[in-house]
Structure 1
Amino acid sequence: MLETLYNYFGFAGSLVVAFLSFMFLVFWIAGVAGITLGRRKPARQIFFIFLAVLIPPYPVAWLIVDMVKQKRELRRL
């Protein structure tokens, strides 16, 4: 797999693809952790955790939206 990645993108491209994949994984794990800390009813909480695990872009988008909300909240202080 790594050899195919290297042959397709070259050295710099494969380095960028590997870095972006790693960052997406980190953001996905952080998003799932943040979603599990939500203050929802248990039935809805299970649904959102299920959604976060099955659709990986959802926790990343949730994390970005949450960071924007926190930034706006801090600017008001």
Structure 2
Amino acid sequence: MLESFYNNFGFVGSLIISLLIFLFFIFWMGGVAGICQEHEGKKESIIRLALAILIPVYPVIWIISDMISQKKQLRRL
């Protein structure tokens, strides 16, 4: 897979694409963990967890919005 990235995009392009895929995976895992921890024991958490697994963009958007809301809370202090 990396070889095809290298052949199509060159060294810098394949490096950037590989880094973005890796960061997306890290944010996805962090988002799924945060969604699981946020609503432990509630029936709603099963639906949100299913959405997080089936739609990989959802946890990434959730974790970024959570970081923004925490930044706003810290600025109020």
Once superposed, what is the RMSD of the aligned Cα atoms? Answer: 1.2
Gaps of 5+ in 1: none
Q: Give 2:71's aligned residue.
A: 71
Q: CA deviation at 1:42?
A: 2.1
After TM superposition, the score normalised by the length of structure 2 is 0.93
Which position in structure 2 is the counterpart of 1:62?
A: 62
Length-normalised TM-score, structure 1? 0.93
Shift of residue 48, structure 1, vs aligned partner: 0.2
Name the stretch that deviates more: 57-66 or 36-45: 36-45
- Correspondences of 1:31-50 after superposition (within 5 Å): 31-39=31-39, 42-50=42-50
Work out the percentage of aligned pairs sharing the same amino acid: 52
Structure 2 residues not aligned, in runs of 5+:
none
